[in-house]
Structure 1
Amino acid sequence: MTALTLSTAAAPGLRADAIVIGVAKGAASRSGGLVVAPGAEAVDKAYDGKLAGVLETLGASGAEGEVTKLPAPSGFKTPLVVAVGLGPEPEKDSSFDAEALRRAAGTAARALNGSKKAAFALPLTDAADAGAIAEGALLGAYSFDAYKENGKDPKKGKAPLAEVALLGGKPRDRAYKAAVERALAVSEELNRARDLINTPPNDLYPEAFAAVVQAAGKEHGLKVQVLDDKALVKGGYGGILGVGGGSEAKPRLVKLSYTSSKAKKHLALVGKGITYDSGGISLKPAGHNETMKCDMSGAAAVFAAVVAVARLGLEVNVTGWLALAENMPSGSAVRPGDVLRMYSGKTVEVLNTDAEGRLVLADALWAASEEKPDAIVDVATLTGAMMLALGSRTYGIMANDDAFRTAVHEAAEEVGEPAWPMPLPEHLRKGMESPTADIANMGERMGGGLVAGLFLREFVGEGITWAHLDIAGPAFNEGGPFGYTPKGGTGTAVRTLVRLAELTAAGDLG
């Protein structure tokens, strides 16, 4: 866990392993070359105002994600200066945006993993900047080493950055304190979601996931209800039971509730929690199974968001529903052609057992709808089609209300999670008509991500505002780390969900 402090200390006298400064590509209308960003004045002065030239000699350009290390100037108690690129210099009378600061802080934190303490002297003009830098540093310092021989033993392995000091912060200012406390709560819970996503499926199966939620519930005063396989049978949760029927690890439906005595609104969050997805009888082809431990990323995001909301004490009621199952092929697995009776009473013809996420979500969505919340947002690594449409870093947003879809999109962009609004074309609904059941779990192949959204809409209670986030692309990073995003589980959607809860509490979410 990384400690976080606001510091008024002068850069030369600060004791740390490194001091992080920002550099940018100068605007052509002004210098045009590398520019030392605000916050690094003391370092630049110690280099006689020639720090930009020194960095350019070392090959620095100010490009986003670029890291240049050099010895600290004489008289500094910190031995190392780390210059991190912020990208283009903002226009006159404007400042660096929050996401640029967040990414730069994350990049620097990753570069300093293995260090004990780093001081961040990035551009900091207000409390929002402090929150962004803190969040980026805390997320960038993340690592998952629990299964390696050396683990997180700092004497043996490369432990994450232990302490972050924000220079130029105002520790007695309420706004600054609130900003960094928010960053700490959200980042720690997002990193908890990353841990769950990265945990191997032999250790994180539905019952084990439920136990993690129960422990967190006790710690943070949340009400947790777990429906085991017997309770699911009694309740008629045919979707969750059907998907989980092929595994020896029995399914669970977990309800996690945070309530505020001052709440005027109720937000329900629903997460897909397939702890491992083989595809079932419709087995995935070779090469598509290796990362399927991440198919519970939606449930991890919902879980983390509810706990973060509780830690922030927001004046809104938030209920998380985690639909947990393992999708395996066996003699008891659901078969293509089987018909399941869902919790809502509707029947579904299963044409493809690898389209299982929508089946567990359907039951959880109906359960959430029974409580008549003001809005429901579901999160799922649902379709490969969404990855084909939007790539690996952007998630899709569908909704039964255009204004709500726009609000969710704006919230995602505000917190730095790339997302894009997607339609729910009515003509695609016809492809899911079944001669046997009320609906089939598959429709037209083209537009498969939209078809999945239309299927889920069938299980949202009448009159309830709903949005669906398909995070199949950005939930698990198979490439190299970038900014504050690590390789592996990313925790995508946690920050969007927390922001939606904040907006709901403030009465600003339509």
Structure 2
Amino acid sequence: MEFSVKSGSPEKQRSACIVVGVFEPRRLTAVAEQLDEISEGYISNLLRRGDLEGKAGQMLLLHHVPNILSERVLLVGCGKERELDERQYKQIISKTIKTLNETGSMEAVCFLSELHVKSRDIYWKVRQAVETTQDTLYSFLAMKTKKGEPRRPLRKIVFNVPTRRELPIGERAVEHGLAIAAGMKTTKDVANMPPNICNPAYLLDQAKELETYPSVAVESVNEKQMHELGMHSYLAVGRGSANESIMSIIHHKGGEEGEAPVVLVGKGLTFDSGGISLKPGEAMDEMKYDMGGAAGVLGTMHAIAQLNLPINVIGILAGCENMPDANAYRPGDILTTMSGQTVEVLNTDAEGRLVLCDALTFVERYEPDLVIDVATLTGACIIALGAHATGIMSNHNPLAHELLNASEQSGDKAWRLPLWDEYQSQLDSPFADMTNLGGRAAGTITAACFLSRFTKKYNWAHMDIAGTAWRSGKNKGATGRPVPMLSQFLMNRAGIESED
């Protein structure tokens, strides 16, 4: 898909299609008014007949509009002008792209980027249009024998900006949007891959694909090395699987040598059966998405490598598979973590924290500036926040605020939950330093409390993406989140501006 920006009048566009907006009730945008004037009232006459009301998402494709150079004009309903917010803007862009892709318009000039969206500038509108377009056109066809692609798919789209002065800003927005969309695609492709293919070794192979970027180097830690390091908690989780546990380590060396890195740690349970504490059979196929954290870190590393951010970042993919067999770990087992702390296992389906705790201890060697772990950790997070927001917990207020700011900028929603000491007692064990389960109450928070015991030596945040990493049901599939938020966070850290 090819993207570009330009600044020009609609009547001069010679394209397969021009896309313009119409507000309720049948009120033409400024650009649509120009086309109406050139076509001698052709468009307004159609609207008066009731062909389009202007409700958000309505589409009316016109062919051979009088005096217009383009073959088609697509009128897009934008709802009430004063109510156009970022959520509705993205929905309108998505519906527009679907329509263009299904109606044979292989290229289009889109004026929707000139719409006024509450509190959002031209950079945001163009970048979101690029990201939304790529997300809308995404499909996972790797395992299908018949691809079923459109005969004349959309190949090129030009977003118009109001003045020539804004062209550099628009071009920057396209560059950033393409990098983030590429990272999201990587995340979705890996997460959607079936677990008989996507195992910890496959995660390592996908990490090595990023070595085509000069800033990236990849290494790994296998089970023998984990044993030597004392990562007995991580090893216990993978003990029941025929697939070896592998921790992949991706280095993006964009900053000064010796500069403390930002470390991202992704939970990479390539399949989570629950182990001996077996999950119910319904929707267990979706447990291939339990590596959504690792997929999100991989996609973020792709995005920042493509942008060549001037910052040092290390991405950890904590690859593992949780299966029941004669060698699997059990409820009642007591594990010694890499930190030396002991954990009583109450439920083998609370396995992600047992993998992450050793990975979080491992990263101390990098003397990080900060550490963020990303994990599909708790069903409780879905109960608390649904499928709309990622849960954030942190031991450092400024870091939490940075992440929430990046969430707001990127439109990748997140919400902070408390991490108060009062919750820690729910992890008490009569036999070990802690249990791996804090009970039903505040399950998302107690899981983060568990991880906080392994993050005393650095500033740390935990992102629970259980509700946001994938969609369930008939249209199930990975979402590519939280790549936009994490990429924005790292762009902010690197001092990347929209106008430079």
So what's the TM-score if we normalise by structure 1? 0.87
AA aligned to 1:6 is: V
Quick one: which amino acid aligns to residue 121 of structure 1?
Answer: F
2:175 to 159, 174, 181: 181
After superposition, where does 1:349-364 map in structure 2 within 5 Å?
349-364=344-359
User: How much has 1:52 moved relative to structure 2?
Assistant: 6.1
The sequence identity of aligned pairs, in percent, is 34
Residue 160 of structure 2: aligned partner: 167
Cα pair 2:261 2:366 within 8 Å, conserved: no
Aligned pair in 2 of structure 1 residues 407, 17: CA closer, same or farther (>3 Å)?
same
What are structure 2's unaligned runs of at least 5 residues?
115-120
**Cα 1:103–1:344, aligned 2, differ >3 Å: closer, same or farther?**
farther
* Match in the other structure for 1:499: 488
405, 417, 421: which one aligns with 1:410: 405
2:118 alignment counterpart: none
CA shift, 1:313, in A, is: 1.9
2:3 alignment partner in structure 1: 4
Work out which of the residue numbers 98, 121, 130 in structure 2 matches 1:110: 98
Deviation for aligned residue 1:277: 1.2
Q: How does 1:44-443 map to 2 (within 5 A)?
A: 44-48=36-40, 51=43, 54-55=46-47, 57-63=50-56, 65-71=57-63, 73-76=65-68, 78-90=70-82, 100-114=88-102, 115=104, 116-124=106-114, 126-151=122-147, 161-168=154-161, 173-262=167-256, 266-443=261-438
Tell me the secondary structure at the aligned position of residue 113 of structure 2: coil
- Cα deviations by residue, 1:165-184 (Å, 9 ceiling, x for unpaired): 22348599433222211111
CA distance in 1, matches of 2:286, 2:313: 30
Number of the residue aligned with 1:488: 477
Q: 1:45 to 1:457 in 2, by over 3 A?
A: farther
Aligned to 2:464: 470
Q: Could you tell me whether the CA contact under 8 Å between 1:38 and 1:122 is conserved in 2?
A: no
Contact 1:35/1:89, CA 8 A, preserved across alignment: no
Distance 1:250 1:152, change over 3 A: farther
Question: Which whole-Å CA distance do the structure 2 matches of 1:365 and 1:152 have between them?
Answer: 44
**Distance in 2 between residues matched to 1:80 and 1:178, nearest whole Å:** 29
Could you say what secondary structure the match of 2:284 adopts?
coil
Q: How many residues get paired?
A: 486
RMSD (Å), alpha carbons: 2.7
Instruction: Give per-residue Cα distances to partners, 1:340-370, cap 9 Å, x unaligned.
Output: 2222222211111111111111112122233
Return the alpha-carbon distance in structure 2 between the equivalents of residues 335 and 103 of structure 1. Answer: 47
**Which letter maps to 1:276?**
F
Q: Which letter maps to 1:499?
A: Q
* Aligned-partner Cα distance in 2 for 1:99–1:218: 35
Q: Distance in 2 between matches of 1:445 and 1:309?
A: 38
Amino acid at match of 1:89: E
TM-fit CA distance, 1:220:
4.8
Tell me, what secondary structure is at the counterpart of 1:446?
A: coil
Aligned equivalents of 1:52, 1:209: Cα separation in 2: 55
Secondary structure of 2:449's match?
Answer: helix
1:78 is displaced (CA, Å) by: 4.1
| Corresponding residue for residue 20 of structure 1 | 19
Structure 1 contact 137–164 (Cα < 8 Å) conserved? no
Shift of 1:292: 1.2
Q: d(CA) in 2 for partners of 1:366 and 1:23?
A: 56
Structure 1: gaps spanning 5 or more residues: 26-32, 482-486
Gap change, CA 1:10 and 1:384, over 3 Å in 2: same
Deviates most, 438-447 or 104-113:
104-113
Q: Which has the higher helix share?
A: 2
Going from structure 1 to structure 2, the CA distance change for 1:444 and 1:221 (only over 3 Å counts) comes to same
Within 1, Cα distance between the matches of 2:246 and 2:218? Answer: 12
Query: CA contact under 8 A between 1:22 and 1:122: conserved in structure 2?
Result: yes
Give distance in 2, aligned partners of 1:62 and 1:53. Answer: 18
What is residue 30 of structure 1 aligned with on the other side?
none
